[in-house]
Structure 1
Amino acid sequence: MRNYKVLILEASSDDAALDFYRELEEIAELTFHSNEGGYTEDDLVELVAPYDAVMITSQHAITGRVILNAPKLKIVAKRGAKPSNVDLKTATERGVMVTWTPGVNFRTVAEHAVMLMMCLAKQTFQQMERLRSGAWRSATGGLIELQGKTVGVIGLGGIGQEVCKLCKCFEVELLAYDPYVPEEKAAEVGAQLASLEELLRRSDFVTLHAALTPETHHLIGERELSLMKKTAYLVNTARGGLVDEQALVKALEQGEIAGAGLDVFEQEPPSPENPLLHLPNVVATPHMAGWTEEALYREQKALRRGNGGRNDLRVQMRAMRPGVPRGRDPLSVQLL
């Protein structure tokens, strides 16, 4: 008997997802909704209102207003990294459980960060445009190797550590800035801890892997960009809000840094008029670093099986009963 209504935003179509949806349909009525242009808060207020559970990605901001206007909502299940796009305070106050799937996209995001470094180092897309226009390789060169360069990793969590592991094969010097990581942890992945200022001054590539918090908002701004080498590149596959985009545009236009590789933006999707999409020294992708078939499969598998079955979304929904008191703890559950 299907007692619950579940809204699934940006559904996957891999085998693990389809198996999960079939099993969930045993107890819930599923509704699938997708919008490549993104959802406004008003959209989500209207969409989520009648549902008991909603499954989201990083594209969907489940604000306090969305939660407060969804009286039946019991679960917000996020695929991927920490649910920074969910108002956890309001969720806690309303007794809404929030789950996520940590670790499933560490390697794929790390690979994407290294790919952006390589595209910048080899000017891949500029060379493609030359070739398409009928030109051949440029006599001025300008391409570089990673070997012997210094890579600065800001944020040494799971993804940052994977980046370090991947970069070691290029024989680079690894610097890391993370005030919450001890030296021995950094040493395990071949990195040397440094202050933010030292890392920015010394690095040829600076790659961001920090969580977006009030403390890290605009962590990289005009001052920080001015500390970087003019030949250095900035890579961001974490969250757009870590970087002051206006300051970045200025630094790129004035040659204060050599280029940037971006998978995330302060506003997503970004406006087509965003200067970062039109600068020749920027490589940009549409927040897809964690969107490989393998990572999506692991996400669905995590949601399907949960932590030994205890955190399985099906188990959570069966456990929900009318009259559950509001304001209970804890409501952020990791699915492993």
Structure 2
Amino acid sequence: MKIAVFGSGFITPEIFIDEIDREVPGCEFVTGTLPWPGAPRGNDDEIQEYAGDFDEIVRIAGDAEALVTDLAPVNAKMLAQMSSLKFIGVARGGPVNINIAEATRRGVVVTNAPGRNGPAVAEFTVALVLDMVRRIGTGVENLRSGRWQGDLYSYETCGFEIAGSTIGIVGFGKVGRLVVDLFRAFGMNVLVYDPFVAAADVEKAGARLVGLDELLASSDFVSIHARLTPETRGMISAGELAGMKDGAYLINTARPGLIDYPAVAEALRSGKLAGVALDVYPSEPPRLTDPIFASDRVLALPHVGGATRESAKRGAHMVAEDLARFIRGEELLHRKN
């Protein structure tokens, strides 16, 4: 089988090819390297979060029967030009860079890698919480600038231990489940909101399934790990923020569309929220003039929650595994259409 491999600076073509060779040796490869993370990802009305030139990808893919990537765009126009294509494997949880509806119409199988960055995002979430309550980044910045910040040891301004406090996890998917495990290990009480899971499954993880209103009102920390759908878009807006516990912390490492950023900025300004940690933004790179950045209680990271070497290799392996199954005519593990 001829396979077009489009890697990036994160999951390189070599990583993809190594994983495919282990699963199904003897394939023919054509390759391209996408301009990411060196350049921002693109978005349009058809596909999102893609990197690479449409025409160049079609030129390289040519008559390939399979296309493997993390971020290469595949829209309707491109699919019409790649008539030999039978399989698209995307090494990410949400293959939003692919027009899945058009691929389905043309009989092209699309697979993805759900949860490939789960451990990375879960550990990253813990780091964000600890940074906010212990002001780790603030201490580092001030020390490097020559200021010995003694107030970090003042009773009135020092941090607190998270054991015994309550964290609310919105979304009990592959990432959310791992987050629950980690925060339970810190001795925290864990609440979960997810209308698509059973209470018994949540209880097995040592947490309690509740409604969103109860979670917001009871949690010292709220961490978002839900999928972005028409139903979840804007699920944390002004009304929900008003229902949160005074002085709570909000963390979003999922999708920017899940929360109302101007409303979050106002909740920070009013003192309703004690702090916010963000790894995703409505536009990336974000505009630093946006109101959300007016507060020094925003811990802002450049969308790196899933950036670990293990995550890169895990995603490539998951795609390679399904590609091998497709070639052998076996049932696929992560089929999207």
Q: Normalising by structure 2, what TM-score? A: 0.82
Distance 2:33 2:5 in 1: 9
Gaps of 5+ in 2: 45-51
Amino acid at match of 1:40: G
**Aligned residue pairs, count:** 316
Q: C-alpha deviations, 1:64-110, integer Å up to 9, x for none?
A: 56645655654432113132443322221132321112233222211
Change (3 A) 1:67 1:246: farther
Mapped pair 1:135 → 2:148 = yes
Distance 1:277 1:41 in 2: 23
Task: Give the corresponding residue for 2:335.
Answer: 333
Task: Give the corresponding residue for 2:40.
Answer: 38
Distance 1:285 1:96 in 2: 36
Change (3 A) 1:87 1:47: same
Please list, as runs of the form range in 1=range in 2, the aligned pairs for 1:87-236 lying within 5 A after superposition: 87-133=99-145, 134-138=147-151, 139=154, 140-236=156-252
Distance 2:53 2:234 in 1: 27
Q: C-alpha deviations, 1:272-304, integer Å up to 9, x for none?
A: 444445631111222222221122222222233
Task: Give the corresponding residue for 2:306.
Answer: 290
Amino acid at match of 2:266: K
SS in 2 for 1:258: strand
Instruction: Report if the CA contact (8 A) 2:5-2:67 is conserved.
Output: yes
Change (3 A) 1:227 1:33: same
Mapped pair 1:80 → 2:80 = no
Instruction: Report if the CA contact (8 A) 2:2-2:27 is conserved.
Output: no
Gaps of 5+ in 1: 320-329
Amino acid at match of 1:111: E
SS in 1 for 2:163: coil
Instruction: Report if the CA contact (8 A) 2:10-2:312 is conserved.
Output: no
Instruction: Report if the CA contact (8 A) 1:219-1:243 is conserved.
Output: yes
SS in 2 for 1:159: helix
Change (3 A) 1:66 1:197: farther
Distance 2:229 2:3 in 1: 34
Instruction: Report if the CA contact (8 A) 1:126-1:280 is conserved.
Output: no
Distance 1:84 1:69 in 2: 20
- After superposing on structure 2, the runs of 4+ consecutive aligned residues of structure 1 that deviate more than 6 Å are 21-25
Task: Give the corresponding residue for 1:325.
Answer: none
Distance 2:9 2:112 in 1: 15
SS in 2 for 1:120: helix
Task: Give the corresponding residue for 2:49.
Answer: none
Task: Give the corresponding residue for 1:324.
Answer: none
Amino acid at match of 1:279: S
Please list, as runs of the form range in 1=range in 2, the aligned pairs for 1:267-286 lying within 5 A after superposition: 267-277=283-293, 279-286=295-302
Distance 1:165 1:155 in 2: 14
Higher alpha-carbon deviation: 92-101 or 172-181: 92-101
Q: C-alpha deviations, 1:200-231, integer Å up to 9, x for none?
A: 01100001111111111111111111111231
Change (3 A) 1:219 1:87: farther
Cα RMSD (Å): 3.0
Task: Give the corresponding residue for 2:47.
Answer: none
Distance 1:44 1:227 in 2: 45
Instruction: Report if the CA contact (8 A) 2:237-2:259 is conserved.
Output: yes
Q: Percent identity?
A: 31
Task: Give the corresponding residue for 2:7.
Answer: 8
SS in 2 for 1:111: helix
Amino acid at match of 2:113: T
